[in-house]
Structure 1
């Protein structure tokens, strides 16, 4: 089966604030839009922000490798170099991380660099990279 980009739609209360965040902070190119939604090219995938009055995000987490990982969350796997560039950019922007840029599963299958932060609507985002991308699904 040939892989295609994924599609993800998320609710937001303040469409314009989130629109600016995904465009200006993460550098996502804006696509189609209407009064209450906007598409973004989210690192080659389609992300749609839907304005939803009364949306209240829930904050829950699950312990993983000594950290409380927010669930649900979404993000992408970047190259090792691109992950480091993004981590530095976010640090310079004084991003409040949920989980600071760190290495997880050191010395184990699936060793990865990861970081978590929230968008303006508290949607949790994770960006990760593998030194060895062949270990993406290693067990």
Structure 2
């Protein structure tokens, strides 16, 4: 793990990320370490965001305001074991997703990602078939 953050467990994960800030580290019941990084804020609008704001202000018949120069963003990612970071997106309807993994709440997406990317338990090999003549 890269950083040691505030300790957190699966049971204490909130339903939304909005009150979380910084790095959180924890471990599942199976012993898989994970780390969450949550940062929200505002940044300067880039070219695409500025163009959208300009078009929106033109359609509404008003000049661009200073509020159009900044956009709100959420940076959320999870580190599971020694794997690379996996960015979690916040959908417009308030749900969360990563690729084809979805969750209605923040806790759901973290649990689903831990199940999908955590180490799988090893299955014991089946007992070998008796050696003898092959049945036809």
TM-score tier, shorter chain, comes to under 0.3
Which of the pair has more CA radius of gyration?
A: 2
TM-score, normalization by structure 2: 0.26
TM-score, normalization by structure 1: 0.26
- More strand by percentage: 1
